[in-house]
């Protein structure tokens, strides 16, 4: 079957969903284009600035899209391409986009406050402490999973003769890091024009790819890359953001768009046939044991269907810059559908390659580079480019996760041992978070990914719970958040039980302990949140008055 069917069905269904279901949600939630948003009521021309919805869509999408919608579908393809495709499409429309749209609207109606503040106001201190502990466990899993994925992507294999994309991409990636620092220096410190610097920066990215391709001089083993990456994330997490993170994230967005456009055009021209079986069964045997479609599919495709973390880490920008409420549909609902589209491209790449052997980056890069070769981009160059793009997103998630982990750890230390404790130090906390994540590396991303996905999806379920409560208090229909919320709770709790049993059988005791702890914390959080949210507070709405 031609993969064009997946692309066109995906595009058509997403468009129809946007226009119909997205509009339905907007109507049910009382979106009023005339109602002033925080960008007008709090206008200060600094943070609160009405912004063109297309520009905001671009920023918002770049901030939520990452390695998740690529790695997840590739790993979930063990069940066949059809169930993954269905979950991407249905999940994006009825779960992910609803979650993002709801969170953004709740934030707009609360004067730009984050969904977290809405949770804290409603859940209380105990709930917040539980939540932090839960989040920290999730974060060390994120760091371990993504470090392993990136190291696998860059590793040099001495037994393979000829060109290897890994070392080429690793070389390009190191050059890209230096380029990002230089870019930041020229724009921030020297005041060079941003538009001109951007053009030069993008040209230099492609030069870095070319250099990596021609002279892959950084050819290291996977273990060596572990060390380099752990040092890198320690530094990236402790250095000032303007030095590396901000310029790197800015340049990353160009990689993202180039990858999306290149992949899409390549698929259009090549029309690759799906080689993978459509459906392999509800139970599939793998090296990690028996995998059940329910619930594992729904936690493996953790992003590109629904994802918890990105509604909780807030730069505070989107809600503060929405010009009118009706733009929230495009920014909140629309951006998540585009992420679903990225996940479909990832699925097509693995379905064409027909097996997910090797790291997700390698599988994705092989597939998309093949497609792009039909539009004139040499296969090996394309592979380097796609690997660089993928790993660039993974590195962004890595250092954000490490910063967050450090922050939560420091907060905990301060609560238990006081501000003066030696552990309440940025570098010590970061080191502890990185070291503990490093210990999990021995398990490899295949074992860690499902439990990370489970924890991530649980966060989204909790955010949906908060949105549900907010809708209820404002006398708005909330069946459209209750259904995905209940489903996600059922999926994630079942997944934790099954994963725990698998870990016990395989004697992976550290992961077993983490899974059990996550289960306990999740139940406590659900009970705590439900108790508080269902207690009668004012039945009047909690919206900020315009």
Partner 1 sequence: MNKNEYIKMLAQKFEKYFDIEFDKNILNLKLDLFAKHYSLNGRTFLTKKDVIDEFENYEYVFLKHYNYIDVHAINEFIDFLKKVSEEVVNPTKNHMSTYINGVVLFDSIDEGVKDVIKRFKNSKTFLFGLRGWFDTRLLAVDLNGQDIICNREGKRVKKVYQITP
Binding site residues, partner 1, CB under 8 A? 44-46, 113-114, 116-117, 119-120, 128, 131, 135, 185, 188-189, 191, 239-243, 245, 312-316, 400, 403-404, 407-408, 411
Pick between residue 107 and residue 502 the one whose CB is nearest to partner 1.
107
Pick between residue 408 and residue 511 the one whose CB is nearest to partner 1.
408
Distance CA 2, CA 17 (A): 23
User: Directed axis angle between helix 68-76 and helix 293-300, to 10°?
Assistant: 160
CB of 118 to partner 1, least distance (A): 9
Pick between residue 93 and residue 462 the one whose CB is nearest to partner 1.
462
Pick between residue 24 and residue 188 the one whose CB is nearest to partner 1.
188
What's the distance, CA 102 to chain centroid? 18
What's the distance, CA 292 to chain centroid? 23
Pick between residue 116 and residue 170 the one whose CB is nearest to partner 1.
116
CB of 403 to partner 1, least distance (A): 5
Distance CA 220, CA 158 (A): 9
Pick between residue 142 and residue 296 the one whose CB is nearest to partner 1.
142
Question: Of 238, 284, 304, 258, whose CA–CA distance to 84 is shortest?
Answer: 304
CB of 318 to partner 1, least distance (A): 13
Pick between residue 90 and residue 235 the one whose CB is nearest to partner 1.
235
CB of 415 to partner 1, least distance (A): 13
CB of 225 to partner 1, least distance (A): 25
Pick between residue 7 and residue 404 the one whose CB is nearest to partner 1.
404
CB of 347 to partner 1, least distance (A): 31
Neighbours of 358 (CB within 10 A): 16
Pick between residue 21 and residue 185 the one whose CB is nearest to partner 1.
185
CB of 133 to partner 1, least distance (A): 13
Q: What are phi and psi of 445, to 5 degrees?
A: -65, -30
Distance CA 155, CA 506 (A): 27
CB of 185 to partner 1, least distance (A): 8
What H or E segment, with its residue span, contains residue 286? strand 283-286
Q: Which two tokens stand for residue 411?
A: 């907060």
CB of 406 to partner 1, least distance (A): 8
Query: Which residues fall within 8 angstroms of residue 213, CB to CB, at 6 or more apart?
Result: 168, 172, 380, 381, 384
Pick between residue 294 and residue 412 the one whose CB is nearest to partner 1.
412
Query: Which residues fall within 8 angstroms of residue 337, CB to CB, at 6 or more apart?
Result: 14, 17, 18, 92, 93, 97
Using the structure block, give the residue that is written with the tokens 């993504």: 146
Q: What is the DSSP string of 63-119?
A: HH-SSHHHHHHHHHGGG-HHHHHHHHHHHIIIIIHHHHHHHHHHHHHTTT--HHHHH
Distance CA 430, CA 234 (A): 7
Distance CA 401, CA 407 (A): 10
CB of 315 to partner 1, least distance (A): 5
Q: Which long-range contacts (CB under 8 A, 24 or more apart) does 40-48 make?
A: 40/323, 41/111, 41/546, 42/111, 42/112, 42/320, 47/316, 47/317, 47/320, 48/112, 48/320, 48/321
Pick between residue 245 and residue 301 the one whose CB is nearest to partner 1.
245
CB of 229 to partner 1, least distance (A): 20
CB distance 187 to 199 below 8 Å: no
Query: Which residues fall within 8 angstroms of residue 538, CB to CB, at 6 or more apart?
Result: 473
Pick between residue 121 and residue 506 the one whose CB is nearest to partner 1.
121
Pick between residue 78 and residue 335 the one whose CB is nearest to partner 1.
335
CB of 113 to partner 1, least distance (A): 7
Query: Which residues fall within 8 angstroms of residue 37, CB to CB, at 6 or more apart?
Result: 50, 108, 322, 323, 324, 325
What's the distance, CA 336 to chain centroid? 11
DSSP state, 291? E
CB of 249 to partner 1, least distance (A): 11
Pick between residue 191 and residue 418 the one whose CB is nearest to partner 1.
191
CB of 407 to partner 1, least distance (A): 5
CB distance 198 to 183 below 8 Å: no
């Amino acid at each position: 079957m031609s993969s064009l069917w997946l692309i066109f069905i995906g595009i058509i269904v997403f468009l129809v969903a946007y226009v119909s279901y997205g509009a339905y949600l907007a109507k049910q939630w009382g979106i009023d284009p005339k109602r002033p948003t925080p960008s007008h009521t709090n206008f200060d021309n600094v943070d609160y600035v009405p912004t063109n919805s297309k520009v905001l869509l671009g920023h918002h999408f770049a901030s939520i899209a990452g390695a998740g919608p690529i790695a997840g579908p590739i790993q979930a393809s063990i069940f066949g391409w059809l169930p993954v495709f269905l979950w991407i499409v249905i999940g994006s429309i009825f779960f992910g986009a609803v979650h993002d749209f709801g969170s953004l609207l709740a934030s707009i109606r609360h004067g730009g406050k984050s969904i977290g503040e809405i949770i804290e106001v409603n859940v209380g201190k105990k709930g917040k402490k539980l939540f932090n502990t839960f989040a920290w466990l999730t974060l060390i899993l994120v760091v371990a999973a993504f470090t392993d994925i990136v190291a696998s992507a860059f590793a040099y294999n001495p037994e393979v003769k000829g060109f290897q994309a890994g070392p080429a991409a690793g070389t390009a990636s190191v050059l890209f890091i230096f380029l990002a620092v230089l870019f930041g220096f020229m724009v921030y410190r020297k005041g060079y024009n941003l538009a001109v610097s951007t053009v030069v920066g993008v040209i230099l990215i492609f030069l870095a790819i070319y250099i990596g391709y021609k002279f892959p001089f950084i050819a290291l083993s996977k273990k060596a890359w572990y060390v380099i990456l752990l040092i890198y994330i320690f530094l990236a997490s402790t250095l000032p953001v303007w030095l590396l993170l901000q310029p790197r994230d800015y340049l990353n967005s160009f990689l993202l768009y180039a990858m999306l456009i290149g992949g899409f055009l390549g698929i259009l021209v090549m029309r690759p046939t799906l080689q993978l079986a459509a459906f392999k069964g509800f139970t599939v045997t793998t090296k990690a044991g028996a995998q059940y479609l329910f619930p594992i599919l729904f936690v493996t495709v953790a992003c590109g269907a629904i994802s918890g973390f990105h509604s909780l880490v807030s730069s505070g920008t989107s809600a503060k810059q929405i010009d009118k409420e009706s733009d929230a549909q495009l920014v909140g609902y629309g951006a998540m559908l585009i992420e679903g589209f990225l996940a479909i491209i990832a699925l097509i790449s693995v379905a064409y390659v027909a097996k997910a052997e090797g790291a997700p980056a390698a599988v994705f890069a092989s597939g998309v580079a093949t497609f792009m070769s039909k539009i004139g981009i040499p296969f090996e160059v394309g592979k380097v480019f796609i690997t660089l793009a993928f790993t660039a997103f993974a590195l962004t998630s890595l250092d954000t996760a490490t910063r967050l982990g450090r922050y939560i750890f420091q907060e905990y230390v301060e609560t238990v041992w006081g501000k003066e404790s030696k552990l309440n130090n940025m570098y010590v906390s970061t080191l502890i978070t990185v070291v503990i994540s490093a210990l999990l590396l021995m398990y490899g991303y295949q074992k860690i990914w499902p439990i990370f996905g489970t924890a991530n999806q649980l966060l989204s379920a909790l955010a949906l719970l908060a949105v549900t409560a907010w809708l209820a208090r404002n006398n708005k229909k909330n069946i459209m958040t209750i259904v995905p919320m209940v489903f996600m709770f059922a999926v994630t709790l079942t997944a934790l039980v099954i994963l725990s049993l698998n870990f016990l059988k395989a004697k992976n005791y550290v992961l077993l302990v983490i899974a059990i702890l996550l289960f306990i914390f999740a139940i406590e959080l659900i009970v705590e949140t439900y108790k508080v949210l269902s207690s009668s507070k004012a039945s009047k709405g909690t919206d900020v008055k315009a």
